[in-house]
Amino acid sequence: MFKFFIDKEWRLWSILGSLFILISTWYQVQLDVKINEWFGAFYDTLQKALSKPGSVSLDEFVGYLWTFAGVAGLWIIIAIITGFFVSHWLFRWRTSMVNYYHDVWQKARLVEGAAQRVQEDTVKFGRIMESLGVGLLDSIMTLAAFLPILYVLSKKVTELPYLGQVDNALIWVAIVTAAGGTAFLAAVGIKLPGIEYRIQKEEAAYRKELVLGEDNLDRMQPATVNELFNNVRKINYISYAHYLYFNACKWSYFQGMVIVPYLALAPTIITGAVTLGFIQQITRAFGRVEGSLQYLVKSWTTIIELISVVKRLKEFEASINDSKETSS
C-alpha cells in the first residue's frame, strides 16, 4: 500500500507532491488567520456605526468588504489548485498500488475477491485518504496557527461560569470538550469498524456469486444467492441499529458544542468588558481550535471505512506473499 513512498519511480511525486500539499495547506491556514483578524476589526466598525450614526463613512465600510473579498478570493484560488493537485497526487498513489498488483497478478488472482481488492478497494483507499489526509494536515496546521491566537485573546477571559477564575480558560474549555467528545464517541462507536468490515466481506461474497453466474447459470442457484443476500441484509440491519445510537450521540454532541464558547464567555460578556468584534474574533478562533481538536470525532465514520479498507488490502497482500512463499 505504501510503495508509493519507497519506489524510485514515484519519488518525485511522493516527496515533492507532499511538500506542495504541505505548503499550500499552510498558506490557506494563514489566509484564514487574516480573515479571523478581519472579523474582529469589521464587527468593531459595525458596532461603532450602529451606536454612533455617521461615525463610519461609506468608503470605509465598503473598504472592509473589498478587503475580505481579496483575501477570501485568494483562499478560494489556492483551495481549488490544491484540491486539483491532491486528486492527481492520490491517483498516482493508487497507480503505484495497482501496478504492484498487476505485476503479481498470477498469484493475486488466486485470492478470493482479488478483482474487487484491486479495483474497488484501491478506489476507496484513494478517496478516503484524500478526505482524511488533507483534513488531518489542515487540522494540525490550523491548531498550530490558531492556538497562539486563542491564547492571546483569552487573556481577557479570566472567569468561567460556575468555576470562577481559570487561567487560559478558553483553551482548557476547547481541549476538555474536544477530548471528552472524542473519547465518548470512540467508546460509543467501538463496534462500528468490525461491522463495516463484515459488511464488505458479505457484499464481496454475494458479488462474487453474481459475477460467476454471468458466465455459468448453474452458479445462480436461488438457494445460494438468496442465502448470501440474506447475510448481506442481516449485517446491514445490524449496522443501521448501531449507527442509530451513534448518530444520536454524535449530533447531540455537535449541537451542544455550538453554545459552549458563548457559555464560557458569559461572565465576560455580561460585564460589557469586550466589544462585538472581540467576541466574533475569539469565538471564531475558538471554533478553529476546537474543530481541529475534534478531527477524530468529525471523521470517525470515514475512519471506520478506512480501517475496513486497509484491513482488507493487508489481508490481500498477505495472501499474495503467502502464495509466493508456497510456490518458492
Instruction: Output the pLDDT for position 238.
Output: 93
Does domain 3-327 fall into CATH 1.20.1560.10? Answer: yes
CA distances from 285 to 72, 114, 260, 267 (A): 17, 47, 13, 19
pLDDT band at 67 (very low <50, low <70, confident <90, very high): very high
Contacts of 201 (CB under 8 A, 6+ apart): 312
Instruction: Quick: pLDDT tens for 36-54.
Output: 889 888 888 888 888 888 8
Residue 14 in this model has a pLDDT that exceeds 90: no
Instruction: Output the pLDDT for position 220.
Output: 57
Share of the chain above pLDDT 90, in %: 14
Residue 128 in this model has a pLDDT that exceeds 90: no
Domain regions of the chain by residue span? 3-327
Average pLDDT, integer, range 101-124: 76
Residue 269 in this model has a pLDDT that exceeds 60: yes
Instruction: Output the pLDDT for position 205.
Output: 82
Average pLDDT, integer, range 139-144: 87
pLDDT band at 276 (very low <50, low <70, confident <90, very high): confident
pLDDT band at 1 (very low <50, low <70, confident <90, very high): low
Q: Nearest CA to 284 among 40, 24, 81, 13?
A: 40
Say which range, 79-83, 113-117, 172-176, 245-249, has the weakest mean pLDDT.
Answer: 113-117
Instruction: Output the pLDDT for position 278.
Output: 85
Instruction: Output the pLDDT for position 318.
Output: 82
Instruction: Quick: pLDDT tens for 154-175.
Output: 888 877 887 888 887 888 888 8
Long-range contacts of the stretch 258-266 (C-beta < 8 A, 24+) = 260/173, 260/177, 260/290, 261/170, 261/173, 261/286, 261/287, 261/290, 263/161, 264/157, 264/160, 264/161, 264/169, 264/170, 264/173, 265/157, 265/170, 266/161
Instruction: Output the pLDDT for position 114.
Output: 74
| Average of per-residue pLDDT values in the chain | 83
Instruction: Output the pLDDT for position 80.
Output: 92
Instruction: Output the pLDDT for position 117.
Output: 75
Instruction: Quick: pLDDT tens for 224-241.
Output: 788 888 999 999 999 999
Q: Enter the pTM of the model.
A: 0.70
Average pLDDT, integer, range 209-214: 75
